[in-house]
């Protein structure tokens, strides 16, 4: 069973040190929560490039191709339609719908992709919110959370305390 | 931060000056051999290089209007590109002298088709030599005054410091934008759209602007990349974040150009009105068709997908290559816009095209470099310079 280990830090440096130490022990599923942007956090967490742009690009291209083929098949091929005596297959007239469907599919791909692939739908809220003290993540606290196997939870909690974390809590993933 | 005034650029200035003299002299010879062809070539070169200076001026106004902090480190360069505008006022003289070779409405021949003759007659109150030259004078005076004030206030701040001069620049930069948009639009009507007196398209000025604005970003990217190794130049102080943002703008305005180009094309194509549609028939039928297809592919599709790459935008040399390519196809774009009125059957590239392009361009580059010298390469006492230097977008 998975669990989340949370710890609150007062200053940035111990937070980054703790994140790097946990990664050195092989715990890669880390996250940092803070009330303001931390530019160093990306490096400390060893974040790889996000896959969201690829999801958006594939969605957008799929939408554009769908939009064009839909128009070509319906009014250009299956049931040729004479609009203002232009040829049934008129590329310029098809571009606006092609473009719009590309935008629509790209944004839907991001939305559905984030919901399902990143936020773990149908989970409605993240387990870390179970911890009352975690409220300070949007006020003045810097939080490190680690997603670990249940048996690793206690050693990771020890490690966080060693770097000076307060309010160290272990939250099991609700099933 | 203290910086010595910029004194470099000599290595590029000398060849640019040679190119200017040789190119303009050769174009002048062309003017004697075949005045009409040479003037058309000169017109393309003129609107190409002038557009970049105006694009930079509008970019500068937009920076001030949005109270942008990140571009402060590269703003001195963007201020200096429009400082070439007085040169363009001088370079306008050949166009003023050769008007009757360029514009059919100047001296309509007896053999003019009836609908063309009607359009020329109908538009006479607007399209006549006196008003045309008067308008050109108004455009240039306005552009030169705005560019001069924004740049000289910024340079004065290098020694005076304080926030008052920033406030003045913000006000003038933002306040001049609507008038820059109007003068640029009417200039494009006068100098390019009136080549066919029948044709009218309200978005025409935006089309010229879109390509020129993109070209202004391309020039900034190339100048920044070239000046990166030189500690006395602005590129040295820029971070990869600045290049990344400039690359994003290049991507955005490649797409904006395509959007405007297609909007203009599709409305006219779908309406199929006899007054407007001949302008496009000239450009998408016959010999010019392939130029149009080339533009759609290489002014939009290919650079768009290349510029999507984050790594490319964060590699100044690679980004500069794409920027250089876009500068080249932007010239093809303006060639396609102007030249079909000279060669309706299809493109007939001539030596004069190259001579005029190199001549006007060499003069513009040499003059801009000359104006860059003697002033600090970066607005050293701008209150937002620190913000710009530690720019980290998220």
Q: What is the pLDDT along chain A (175 residues), one digit of tens a residue?
A: 789 999 999 999 999 999 999 999 888 889 999 999 888 888 889 888 888 999 999 999 999 999 999 999 999 999 999 988 889 999 999 999 999 999 999 999 999 999 988 888 888 888 888 889 999 999 999 999 999 998 888 999 999 999 999 999 999 876 5
CATH architecture of the domain with range A2-50+127-172: 2-Layer Sandwich (3.30)
Separation CA B163–CA B170 (nearest Å): 11
**Chain A residues 87-146 with a CB less than 8 Å from chain B:** 92-93, 95-96
Residue with tokens 């001549």: B359
A116 compared with B46, residue with greater pLDDT: B46
CA B133 vs CA B101, B108, B202: distances in Å: 15, 18, 21
Closest residue, chain B, to A86 (C-alpha): B270
Report the pLDDT value the prediction gives residue B27, as an integer from 0 to 100.
96
How distant is the alpha carbon of residue B388 from its chain centre?
Answer: 26
CA distance B179 to B149: 15
Q: Are B355 and B27 in contact (CB under 8 A)?
A: yes
Return the pLDDT at A175: 57
How far is the C-alpha of B384 from the C-alpha of B71, rounded, in Å? 9
Q: Is the Cβ of A57 closer than 8 Å to some Cβ of chain B?
A: yes
Distances (CA, A) of B381 to B57, B166, B202: 21, 10, 42
Residue B349 above 70 pLDDT?
A: yes
DSSP secondary structure letters along B335-356: HHHHGGGT-TTS----HHHHHH
Cα–Cα distance measured from residue B173 to residue A9, given in angstroms and rounded to the nearest whole number? 45
Q: How far is A39 from chain B (nearest CA, A)?
A: 8
Instruction: Give the pLDDT of residue B306.
Output: 97
Q: Is the dihedral of CA B104, B108, B109, B114 positive or negative?
A: positive
CA dihedral of B314, B317, B319, B321, whole degrees rounded to 10: -170
Using pLDDT thresholds of 50, 70 and 90, give the confidence band for residue B49. Answer: very high
B interface test, pick of A53, A92, A96 with most B CB neighbours within 10 Å: A92
Q: In this predicted structure, which of A121-130, B64-73, B220-229, B283-292 has the lowest mean pLDDT?
A: A121-130
Residue B272 at interface with chain A, using a CB cutoff of 8 Å = yes
Q: Beta-carbon neighbour count of residue A174 at 10 Å?
A: 8
Quote the pLDDT of residue A119.
82
Query: What pLDDT does B364 receive?
Result: 97
Closest CA to B236 of B68, B77, B52, B14: B77
Give the distance, in angstroms, between the CA of residue A66 and the centroid of all CA atoms in the same chain: 26
Rg over alpha carbons for chain A, rounded to the nearest Å, is: 24
In terms of DSSP H, where are the helices of A72-175? 91-113, 153-162
Residue of B nearest to A57 (CA): B308
pLDDT one-digit tens code per residue, B147-159: 999 999 999 999 9
Over residues B206-258, the pLDDT tens digits come to: 999 999 999 999 999 999 999 999 999 999 999 999 999 999 999 999 999 99
What are the pLDDT digits (tens) for A104-137? 999 999 999 999 888 888 888 888 888 899 999 9
Residue B356 tokens read as 């005029």
Q: Give CA–CA dist B215/B372, Å, rounded.
A: 19
In this structure, the number of other CB atoms found within 10 A of the CB of residue A122 comes to 7
- Token match 């299809």: residue? B346
Distance (Å, whole) CA B11 – CA B80: 18
Q: What is the spatial distance between Cα B62 and Cα B27, in angstroms, rounded to a whole number?
A: 36
* For chain B, percent of residues with pLDDT exceeding 90: 91
Tally Cβ neighbours within 10 Å of residue B361. Answer: 20
- Of the candidates B78, B369, B104, B106, the one whose C-alpha atom is nearest the C-alpha of residue B242 is B78
Q: Which of B262, B270, B392 sits opposite A39 (nearest CB)?
A: B392
Tokens of B70: 């990140």
Q: Report the residue from A37, A57, A92 with minimal CB separation from B266.
A: A92
> From the list A37, A53, A57, which residue is nearest B394 (CB)?
A37
What the block records as the tokens of B110 is: 């007896």
Q: Which residues contact B287 (CB under 8 A, 6 or more apart)?
A: B343, B345, B346, B347
Cα-based torsion angle of the residue sequence B231, B19, B205, B68 in order, rounded to the nearest 10 degrees: 10
Q: Which pLDDT band holds residue B44 (cuts at 50, 70, 90)?
A: very high
Mean pLDDT of chain B: 95
| Chain A CB contacts of B392 below 8 Å | 39
Taking 80 as the threshold, does the pLDDT of residue B394 lie above it?
no
Which ranges in chain A are annotated with CATH 3.30.70.260? Answer: 2-50+127-172
Residue B382: strand, helix, or coil: coil
Query: Alpha-carbon distance B383 to A155, whole Å?
Result: 50
Residue with tokens 């080249």: B328
The pLDDT of residue B177 is 97
* B392 phi, psi to nearest 5 deg: -140, 90
Q: What percent of chain B has pLDDT over 70?
A: 100
User: Within an 8 Å CB–CB cutoff, is residue A61 touching chain B?
Assistant: no
What confidence score (pLDDT) does residue A1 get? 78
Selected for mutation to probe chain A from B255, B256, B265, B270 (highest A CB count within 10 Å) is B270
B265–A37: do the CB atoms touch at under 8 Å?
A: no
Mean of the pLDDT values across residues B181-192?
Answer: 97
What dihedral angle (degrees, nearest 10) is formed by the CA atoms of A29, A32, A37, A40? -70
Residues pairing with B6 in the sheet: none
Token duo for residue B11: 């290595």
Which chain B residues are Cβ-neighbours of A37 within 8 angstroms?
394
- Chain B contact set for A84 (CB, 8 A): 270, 272
Please state at what angle helix B240-271 crosses helix B72-80, rounded to 10 degrees. Answer: 50
């Amino acid at each position: 069973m998975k669990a989340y280990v949370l710890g609150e830090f007062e200053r940035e440096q111990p937070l980054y040190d703790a994140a790097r130490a946990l990664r050195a022990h092989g715990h890669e599923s880390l996250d940092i929560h803070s009330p303001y942007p931390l530019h160093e956090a990306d490096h400390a967490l060893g974040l790889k490039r996000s896959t969201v742009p690829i999801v958006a690009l594939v969605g957008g291209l799929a939408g554009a191709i769908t939009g064009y083929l839909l128009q070509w098949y319906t009014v250009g091929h299956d049931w040729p339609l004479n609009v203002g005596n232009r040829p049934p297959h008129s590329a310029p007239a098809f571009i606006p719908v092609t473009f719009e469907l590309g935008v629509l599919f790209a944004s839907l791909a991001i939305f559905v992709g984030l919901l399902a692939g990143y936020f773990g739908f149908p989970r409605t809220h993240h387990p870390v919110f179970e911890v009352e003290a975690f409220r300070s993540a949007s006020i003045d606290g810097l939080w490190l959370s680690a997603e670990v196997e249940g048996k690793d939870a206690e050693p990771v909690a020890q490690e966080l305390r060693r770097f000076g974390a307060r309010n160290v809590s272990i939250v099991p993933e609700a099933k | 931060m203290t910086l010595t005034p910029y004194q470099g650029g000599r290595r590029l200035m000398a060849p640019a000056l040679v190119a200017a003299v040789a190119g303009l002299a050769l174009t002048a010879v062309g003017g004697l051999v075949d005045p009409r062809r040479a003037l058309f070539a000169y017109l393309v070169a003129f609107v190409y290089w002038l557009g970049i200076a105006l694009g930079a001026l509008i970019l500068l106004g937009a920076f001030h209007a949005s109270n942008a902090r990140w571009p402060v480190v590269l703003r001195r360069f963007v201020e200096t590109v429009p400082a070439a505008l007085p040169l363009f006022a001088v370079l306008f003289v050949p166009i003023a002298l050769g008007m009757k070779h360029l514009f059919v409405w100047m001296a309509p021949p007896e053999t003019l088709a009836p609908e063309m003759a009607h359009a020329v007659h109908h538009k006479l109150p607007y399209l006549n030599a006196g008003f045309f030259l008067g308008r050109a004078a108004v455009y240039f005076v306005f552009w030169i005054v705005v560019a001069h004030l924004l740049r000289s206030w910024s340079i004065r701040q290098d020694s005076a410091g304080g926030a008052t001069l920033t406030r003045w620049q913000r006000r003038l930069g933002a306040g001049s934008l609507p008038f820059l948009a109007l003068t640029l639009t009417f200039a494009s009507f006068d100098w390019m759209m009136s080549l066919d007196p029948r044709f009218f398209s309200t978005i025409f000025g935006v089309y010229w602007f879109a390509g020129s604005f993109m070209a202004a970003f391309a020039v900034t990217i190339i100048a920044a990349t070239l000046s990166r190794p030189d500690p006395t130049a602005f590129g040295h102080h820029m971070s990869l974040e600045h290049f990344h943002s400039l690359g994003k703008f290049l991507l955005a305005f490649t797409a904006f150009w395509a959007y405007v180009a297609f909007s203009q094309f599709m409305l006219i194509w779908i309406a199929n009105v006899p007054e407007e549609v001949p302008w496009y028939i000239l450009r998408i039928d016959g010999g010019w068709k392939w130029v149009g297809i080339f533009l759609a592919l290489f002014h939009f599709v290919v650079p768009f997908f290349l510029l999507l790459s984050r790594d490319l935008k964060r590699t100044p040399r690679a980004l500069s290559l794409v920027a250089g390519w876009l500068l080249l196809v932007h010239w093809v774009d303006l060639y396609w816009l102007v030249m079909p009125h000279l060669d309706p059957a299809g493109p007939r590239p001539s030596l004069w095209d190259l001579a005029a392009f190199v001549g006007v361009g060499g003069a513009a580059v040499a003059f801009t470099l000359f104006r860059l010298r003697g002033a600090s390469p970066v607005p050293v006492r701008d209150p937002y310079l620190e913000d710009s230097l530690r720019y980290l977008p998220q």
